[in-house]
Amino acid sequence: MAVSITDADAYIALNCIVIGDWMDADAASKQRMLNVAGRTLSVKYPKYTIPDTAVYEFSNVLATVFNDTNKLAQEGVTNFALTGTASFSFKDDLVRGPGADLAKLIPQSALDLISAENGGIPLSKRNVGWSVM
């Protein structure tokens, strides 16, 4: 099955909690997010079948991360104000340069969907490594 904006809209509306940025995006932006999400998941997990639902989960995260307000933080803006209306300040960890690793943004929900599609293989955002005590 191929991902589509229509299917993504329906899935995200029913299965994701914060959906405003996705629903507010225009069709071209949604298609770019679907393309980037699918490509990022395929590159990160080349041995696994990536279900459309995992792409939709990740696309919704990208919509929030790259919304108009958060884009300012990624471009290095630390704070800004609209006189008499609002003031925004950003944490340093929101600043991602042009070479940012999008794979770090993959939500655990997408990994769970990939895991289920591939026979329950364990996928986690946590890194496993050796520790010396």
pLDDT digits (tens, 9 = 90+) for 34-89: 999 999 999 999 999 999 999 999 999 999 888 655 555 455 555 556 666 665 55
- What letter would DSSP give residue 80? E
Domain spans in the chain, listed from the N-terminal domain onward:
5-117
Q: Are 30 and 5 in contact (CB under 8 A)?
A: yes
Query: So what's the pLDDT on residue 34?
Result: 97
- What letter would DSSP give residue 88? E
pLDDT digits (tens, 9 = 90+) for 90-117: 555 544 555 568 899 999 999 999 999 9
**Length reported for the chain:** 133
Instruction: Give one DSSP letter per residue of 18-55, joined into a string.
Output: --HHHHHS-HHHHHHHHHHHHHHHHHHSTTS---HHHH
- What letter would DSSP give residue 102? G
